[in-house]
Structures are given as C-alpha cells and as structure tokens.
Structure 1
Amino acid sequence: MSQGPVQPDRPDRPEGGQGDLFSKFDDTIAMRANLLASGVTDPFALVMEKVHSPTRAVCNGRETILLGTYNYMGMTFDPDVISAGQQALRDYGSGTTGSRVLNGTYQGHRECEAALREFYGMDHAMVFSTGYQANLGIISTIAGKGDYVVLDIDSHASIWDGCSMGQAEIVPFRHNDIEAMEKRLKRIPEGAGKLVVLEGVYSMLGDVAPLAEMVRIAKANGAMVLVDEAHSMGFIGENGRGVVEEAGVIDDVDFIIGTFSKSVGTVGGFCVSNHPKFDIMRLVCRPYVFTASLPPSVVATAATSIRKLMDARDKREHLWKNSRRLHGGLKALGFRLGTEEPQSAIVAVIMPDLEQGASMWEALLREGLYVNLARPPATPANMTLLRCSLCAEHSDEEVETILGMFERAGRATGII
C-alpha cells in the first residue's frame, strides 16, 4: 500500500536538496546542453511563425506539415468556429477579469456547458480554464486526506498533481494491468473513500485502456471512477464521446474529464457527471473558484466546435483511415511503434535513445515535417519517442508524403 505520493520520476518534479534552489535541475540542464552541443536544433524551442491550416505552418522559417499538434478533428480553422469567436469578441470584449463564482460567468459559459451536457448526455457540466486545471480541481476536491486514489502508473502529470494537492493516499498500478488494479483495490481498508482514475487513450504511446473490465472491477469494489478522455473525445465512439462510449461504460463512470485543446481546437477543460451532488463543486473546487474564467471568445469557439463534433461522422472515419495508413506504412518501413495495431490518432515511433531521436526529429524537420520529440524520464520505460498525432484534415496525399519523409529521414539517420 502506498504511503503517499508515489510516482515515476518526472522532469517537472525533481528531488530537492541543499544550496542553490536551481541545483535540482542540473541533470536536465546538462541533458539539454549535451543535446545542443551535438549540433541539433533545439527540439523544445520550435517557433511557428505562421499557421496556414490545421495541417500546415511555417516552423523555424520552413514550410512544414504538422503531425504533432493534437488537432485531431481540425477544428482550429473551421469557419463557423472562427466566426463565433469573432462575434463574441465584439459583443463581450476580450476577457472576463473574474472568477466563475463572481463576475466571470457570461452567457457563453452557460452555453458551452449546455453543449457539453448535450454532447455527453450528462446532467452536469463544469468548464475550467485549462484541461490541467480540470484534473487538478476535480481530483483534489473529491479525494482528500484519508481517501485513496488508485491510478495507472502512466497517468498524466495533471492527474498526479491533483492527487498530491488533495493529499489522498496514492495507489499506482502497472499500466493497463487489470489484475494489478483489482489487487490494489482489495487492499484498501473497508469503508475508505476510493477513486479509480483512468485515461481512455494514453498520450505517449496512443494505447487504449481496457475500460469495460476496469470499470466493472472498480464498481464491484465500491470505488468511484474518473476517466480522462482528453485524447479520445471527438473521434472514438459512435458519437465521438470517447473510449467510455466505445467500451459501453459511459453510464457507469462517475466523472469524465476532457480538454478543449485537442479535438475541440481551442483551450479550456471540463468535467461532466451525473452525480446528483455534483453542482456543489462550483463552490468547493479551488482551481475553479480562484481562477479567472475563460474569455468569451474562447467559450464561444468551444461551444460551436462541440456542437459540430456531434455531427462529424465523416471526419471521424477519415481520421481513422489516416491512422491506419500511417501506422501500417511506418511499420512496413521497419520503424518500431508503440502499439502493434492503430488504437487512436496517436502513432508513437520508438527511437533507440534521446540523441538519435533528436537527430531523427531534426531530419524530419528538414524534410518539412513536425512531430513531437518526447524524452525520458517523462516517457514510459524511459523511451524516447517521436509522437505523431494525426488530423482529420490530413489528406490522403499528405499521409503518403509523410511516409516518404519518414523513410528518407530514417535512412539518413540510420534508424531504419
């Protein structure tokens, strides 16, 4: 049983020590210095000077195909979405300058929450200023001292931080291991508050959680269930409601967390729930109460995008087509991938180490392709990954072009 916050090492949570308060970052400073000394472009300082569309931009002065933006449904340039934001900016100004519980609730915030309730078929919806704050706020508020949070070891940083902020006992289990999760649940003292936190799609490897069995076991052991659907909202499930819908457990989970910065195409976070007492969260959730609300233009774009995602079957089908083609093409070229079969819009390409990964990242950028370089220790099993996130707006021709870029860069760097 965990006796407090046990979590994998992460670059944003180094161990403290004596002397200079920055000394705890020395390893990260050395890693970056060594990487740049090898002559590669800094992969963590890319600048987009101009964005033409969901799939094209000028990056570091070069025309580039975007394959690392999480803009899954390509809503950032949707004419209706842009028009809604422009109108709200004219009607309500640039910001609210206040918290949701004071002067920061405009008509647009209510309309955005109504769109979320309709999208998920839920009784309650609560909008946060970021997806990070949604996890931080909900988890820290409902799971406090004396309660237990059972979570996947590969959970997002916002989930870990929500657990730490709430001071609950953290009980991690091996990634996607149903048996390990059940064993940990059964060890929790009788009568203790229990929350199981899962993700529909895990953002590093793009793999999907076995939610049907996990939710069943959690409920059998008296736990509430929270599922983060940040990387599956919009395109997984018949109506795009995520893995909870695909697995048939949407009515069994207590909380669904999501973000506007992926498929919705703007910024913000949310939680939807059917719990009859959920609305009290607006008065007791500190990251909601003590944060300025989203600007009117942002909630207007979010509400418009969410309503359009309700009728986006063709876009979902095309996104899945893109994912299957890229995954299969990279596998055929000899790249090592994070999943055996495509499970989401994320395709993770595993690199031998950070140095070769950075070289491959730069070679792709020279080809005119941007992907994410994800490095240890943030990645599972200390892998270095080139993380590709496909978009419903990528054309068939763009996917074929991307495969050619990967082949040339892979051969030039010796990766394949």
Structure 2
Amino acid sequence: MTDLFTKFDDLIKTREDLLSTGVTDPFNLVMEKVLSPTVAICNGRETILLGTYNYMGMTFDPDVIQAGKDALDNFGSGTTGSRVLNGTYAGHKACEEALRDFYDMDGAMVFSTGYLANLGVISTLAGKDDYIILDIDSHASIYDGCAMGNANVIPFRHNDIEALEKRLKRLPEDAGKLVILEGVYSMLGDVAPLDKMVPLAKKYGAMVLVDEAHSMGFIGENGRGVCEAQGVIDDVDFIIGTFSKSVGTVGGFCVSNHPKFEILRLVSRPYVFTASLPPSVVATAATSIGKLKHAKAKRDHLWENSKRLHGGLKKLGFQLGTEDPQSAIIAVIMPDLEKGAAMWEALLNEGLYVNLARPPATPANMTLLRCSLCALHSDEQVGEILGMFERAGRATGCID
C-alpha cells in the first residue's frame, strides 16, 4: 500500500532535524493569555508581540468588543447556514455597507475568510479558456483560486513591469484576461508598483484584481491601501481584503464597481457552500471598519514605528527585505533555517515574539524573521525591541 504521507518525508526530516537541536518549536507557540494588541503571556512570561498582523490594534478596541457582545446577546453564537440560505443576518448586510462606505464602491461581498475571498472570486471569474497573469510571489490563496478555476496561469517575475508586459503581449486579444497583484507582499513587506502595472494591464484589455490584505487600514490617505496611495483605485476592477489583519477579527471580502458584481453571490462556490460568519464577528468587523476610516493618527504613528524599527535594525547590521520601510512588515533575512530558529528562540527568551518564515512559503528560499508592527506599539516598546534584537543577534552570531 502506498503511504500518502511519503511526499512529505523531506519536510518531516527538516522539522525533526531542527527540533533535535533543542530549539522550541517555532510553529507551535501557545499564547496563554493576550493582555493587549501588543503584549501576551507566552511560555509563562510577558512577551511583546511583533508578529500578529494586528496592524491597527483593533482587537481590544472597546467599541469593537461591545459590538460583538451585543450581537452575541441578540443573535446567538452562529448562523448555521450559508449566505444564500439562512446565513444572512442584518449584521452581514451592515458589514457590507461599511465596506462600501470605506472604499466608496458600489459592491461588497463578505466571505468567511480572506482565503475564501481569493478562492471564491478568482476561481469564479477565470475559467479554463481564460488567462491569469500573476506576480510569482503571490499568496497561496491566490494560487489555489487559480487552480480551482482551471485557468491558464502565467506568472511573471516579482514586481517586474517589463516582464508583465511581455506576458500580456503574447496573449490573444479576445481572450479573457485577469491580472492579479498584491498591494503589499506579506513575506518581505514590499509594495507593488500599481501605478505602472494597472494602466499596463488595462492597455492590453485585462481586468485587474488587487489583494490589499496587508495594506488596508493604514496605507493611503483613507486607509484604502496601495491602490489609493498610488492613485489607481478607480481603475482596479476588484479589491480583495481580509478582516484578520487591520480589522482585527476574521473574515474576507471583495469590493468592486463592476455592474454585474452581484451575480458572484450565486455562482461563487466558496461563498455559496460555506457557513456564514457568526453575528458577533461581522458586528466587530463593521464597527472596526467604521473606525478605521477616521484613524489618521494611528496611521501616522504606525509609519513612525516602521521607519524607526527599520532604521534601527539596519544600523545594527541586520539584512532586511527592503532597502527602505514600505509597510508595517519588516523582514529580517537569516543565513539559514537553523540560524533563523536560534535567533527566533533567543528573541522569545528576551520577551519578543516574531514570525519565523521558511521555504517554500518564502521567496528565493529565504529564511526570514518577519516583524509586523502595530499602531499601538509605544515608542518605548520599539526601543525595547531594538535592544532585544541587538542582544539576541550578538548571542547567536547573526550580527557582529
């Protein structure tokens, strides 16, 4: 009998070799208690959180929490049904209205996760006779959406404008084409040149979908993401996002001005055949989105945090994923997985949690310590973080 796990043997060995060194399992950390958006109890000690995607610190906002409690009291714990059956409550419609208002767009659909939003929209829009042109560093949910729809997938080199045009030039003029980009790429925290890529896609007759999961809330004058910041939001056909980053809860969405957008509710399988979000979740999301619209002070502080941490780590001698700070994600490049795991554990022992990211999830087979800043990290905490990186870096030999 063929063991269906055989294909994972190399990964199993890599994991066993790593754990045999005595390092704490970096992919199985338990947060015993969360004290705030920036602090939790991990392994029995108070730990600064620098790897949670809680960019705008909305998880403990009093208005957001109260909205969730009220919805639990009034609507119960769940819908027990999909959106097209019994799973659309007043809160789901209110959440979609909050999204339409936030993005100033006509259409909004809420999915049960951000992953399902990409899966549902991409797989439904582009079928086997259509073409999807995407950045090679696209998120797994984007690739899975492409596979589910069975479209012809044509990747191009990361953030390479010329490579995108070469791919577009080769395609039949009358073919259905969808260009998929991300505002901020989650591994290195770098920003796409949407101001050049979106017009290029339109020139060759392609529709454009932009995933703004890691930029919604803090990039752009109103927090609408890189599309807004680079002045192309009105030219993009679909924006995908998630509630699990800046919004501070769980869920996903798509917004669009396309006049036929609403038909997706009846033809998108990951929307039709999935239970809808609990009333408490959409209530927290709608409340959070409403507050993010007026969160300029938070956005400004988050940018200051990003600039200070990026500059401080660079000065200490760490190799970073971007030359300049471009988002709330700062990636620290490690020599290899073993050294990365040692540095991760040293930081945890200092009282700092970051993400250890490894191949194949990372570009160019890099091992990264991925830092995700929060608008509620204080100036004092950023100073502490730099001190922790310096001590851990010297102890592990990652810096001189």
TM-score clears 0.5: yes
**1: distance between equivalents of 2:62 and 2:72?**
15
Indicate the residue corresponding to 1:7 in structure 2.
Answer: none
Which of 25, 30, 37 is matched with 2:13 structurally? Answer: 30
Indicate the residue corresponding to 2:67 in structure 1.
Answer: 84
Indicate the residue corresponding to 2:231 in structure 1.
Answer: 248
**2: distance between equivalents of 1:190 and 1:346?**
38
Indicate the residue corresponding to 2:158 in structure 1.
Answer: 175
Indicate the residue corresponding to 2:31 in structure 1.
Answer: 48
Secondary structure of 1:51's aligned partner: strand
| Residue 170 (structure 2) pairs with residue 187 (structure 1) | yes
- Unpaired stretches in structure 2, ≥5 consecutive residues: none
Indicate the residue corresponding to 2:201 in structure 1.
Answer: 218
| Map 1:13-412 → 2, pairs under 5 A | 19-412=2-395
1:304-337: per-residue Cα shift (whole Å, max 9, x none)? 0000001000000000000000000000000000
1:327-348: per-residue Cα shift (whole Å, max 9, x none)? 0000000000000000000000
**2: distance between equivalents of 1:189 and 1:60?**
57
Secondary structure of 1:39's aligned partner: coil
Secondary structure of 2:12's aligned partner: helix
**2: distance between equivalents of 1:187 and 1:162?**
23
Query: Following TM superposition, by how much is the alpha carbon of 1:376 offset from its aligned partner in structure 2, in angstroms?
Result: 1.1
1:147-195: per-residue Cα shift (whole Å, max 9, x none)? 0000000000000000000000000000000000010011112211000
Does the Cα contact within 8 Å between 2:173 and 2:205 map onto a contact in 1?
A: no
Query: Following TM superposition, by how much is the alpha carbon of 1:378 offset from its aligned partner in structure 2, in angstroms?
Result: 1.4
**2: distance between equivalents of 1:343 and 1:183?**
27
Runs of 4 or more above 6 Å deviation: none
RMSD: 0.6
Query: Following TM superposition, by how much is the alpha carbon of 1:273 offset from its aligned partner in structure 2, in angstroms?
Result: 0.1
**1: distance between equivalents of 2:360 and 2:76?**
42
Query: Following TM superposition, by how much is the alpha carbon of 1:63 offset from its aligned partner in structure 2, in angstroms?
Result: 1.1
Secondary structure of 1:251's aligned partner: helix
Query: Following TM superposition, by how much is the alpha carbon of 1:243 offset from its aligned partner in structure 2, in angstroms?
Result: 0.1
**2: distance between equivalents of 1:237 and 1:20?**
50
**1: distance between equivalents of 2:82 and 2:207?**
28
Return 60-69 or 43-52, whichever deviates more: 60-69
What is the TM-score when the length of structure 2 is the normalising length? 0.99
Indicate the residue corresponding to 1:6 in structure 2.
Answer: none
**1: distance between equivalents of 2:201 and 2:342?**
44
Match for 1:197: what amino acid?
I
Secondary structure of 1:227's aligned partner: strand
Query: Following TM superposition, by how much is the alpha carbon of 1:60 offset from its aligned partner in structure 2, in angstroms?
Result: 2.1
1:91-110: per-residue Cα shift (whole Å, max 9, x none)? 00000000000000000000
**1: distance between equivalents of 2:19 and 2:263?**
50
Does the Cα contact within 8 Å between 2:168 and 2:204 map onto a contact in 1?
A: yes
Match for 2:176: what amino acid?
G
Size of the aligned set, in residue pairs, is 399
Does the Cα contact within 8 Å between 2:347 and 2:353 map onto a contact in 1?
A: yes
